[in-house]
Amino acid sequence: MKTATEDTRGRRRYAVGLMSGTSVDGIDAAVAEISEDEGGRVRARLLSFENKPYPAPVREEIFRLFEPREATVDRVGRMNALLGELYAEAALSAIAAAGLEPGDIAVVGSHGQTIYHSPEPQNAEGYELRYTVQIGEGSVIAARTGIPCVTDFRAADMAVGGQGAPLVPFTEYLLYREEMRTLLLQNIGGIGNITVLPAGCAPEEVIAFDTGPGNMLIDGLVSRFCPGKAMDEGGAIARSGSMDEALLEALQQEPYYRLPPPKSTGRELFGAAYVDKLLDMGRERGLRPEDLIATATQLTAWSIGDAYRRFVLPRHPAEAMIVGGGGSYNPALLDGLKRELEPMGVRVLTQEEAGHHSDAKEAVAFALLGLCALDGRTGNLPSVTGASRPVVLGKLSDSR
């Protein structure tokens, strides 16, 4: 199995990355120029980025598919094909925006839309099973674009005992590591996840795991209280409320926070049922909507700070945390993060403040993972996912 190939070093290639996260707010499409120098250092230069919001009926149907009783084979199959069409259109649009042609692109790496993720082993007929479902048919993407497409990245890691997540830390190791500083990379999408890059680290020294809810609970509450709104824009609602200390303390008892890494979570834990529980607890305490949203916002900030204190600080005190994802645009959430981390000597920066592009980061990661798959290079970090060994990730569709 190749971990590096001489024929890719010194070359510059173009790749498209497609990402649709747990918030289901649209398709992120990035075109990146990816190069590797003779020393093996990888660099990615963003050429174009677009976000294509899902049509409202598509977004509503995806949310229905999160409920296993609703996710019948015909509905999942139909959405799998439809998302393939939408992803292909997003890829072609981003390629045009970069001033390139489809023939210039080496590969499309598409994460797909996760509708179910079960990383903990379940015994069936004597087998320990882990499984995951991402939809957005790669064969459709390849056929419509004429570009090889890699999809279904998580399954290979799970097949060798991993959680199938998080996968982005492998690309963060390639692109962000520094010799003299320990960095934290915190993504706040629907779920929060942290990557720890110790100064001068080797791949096996990278730590990464899901910290807990990111925007998922905040967005869920906003959508219930404010029909037609999908998020707390600018943290305005949270800032108009008062955080409830007793409720926050009760929420902090969720066992997930104390589980040691490697670990991952998702909508199965922090989805609609959890939002319903929050609403019930808020009603019992007589909280206003803005107070409940302020409390959920602080819970996300606390969960990130707690994860750092509990699992990272004792071994790898960090100098800075670089925050990306939709949560990086929520000043109320960022203020909470600063209150949690800066007393411990960790400076909190956004991706933009660090010279990067927050919205495009994960899409660029899957462009890079797509190239790794195309080259037969391993793309997971067993220290992060819990896999027994490094493996090549993804399934290749090529209609040429």
Residue positions forming the annotated binding site for ATP: 21-28
Helix%, strand%, coil% for the chain, nearest 5: 45, 25, 35
Cα–Cα distance for residue pair 150/20, rounded to 1 Å: 15
- Cβ partners under 8 Å of residue 227, min gap 6: none
- Please enumerate, by residue number, every residue annotated as part of a binding site: 21-28
Q: 366 in helix, strand or coil?
A: helix
Q: Which two tokens stand for residue 204?
A: 């096996």
Q: What is the largest CA-CA distance in the chain?
A: 64
Please, what is the angle between helix 73-97 and helix 138-145, to 10°? 30
Cα–Cα distance for residue pair 348/323, rounded to 1 Å: 7
Asked if 182 contacts 140 with a C-beta cutoff of 8 angstroms, the reply is no
- Kindly report each contact of residues 33-39 with a partner whose C-beta sits within 8 Å and lies 24 or more positions away, as own/partner: 34/367, 34/368, 34/371, 35/10, 35/11, 36/8, 36/9, 36/10, 36/11, 37/9, 37/10, 38/9, 38/10
Q: Which residue has the tokens 């010194």?
A: 10
Cα–Cα distance for residue pair 388/369, rounded to 1 Å: 19
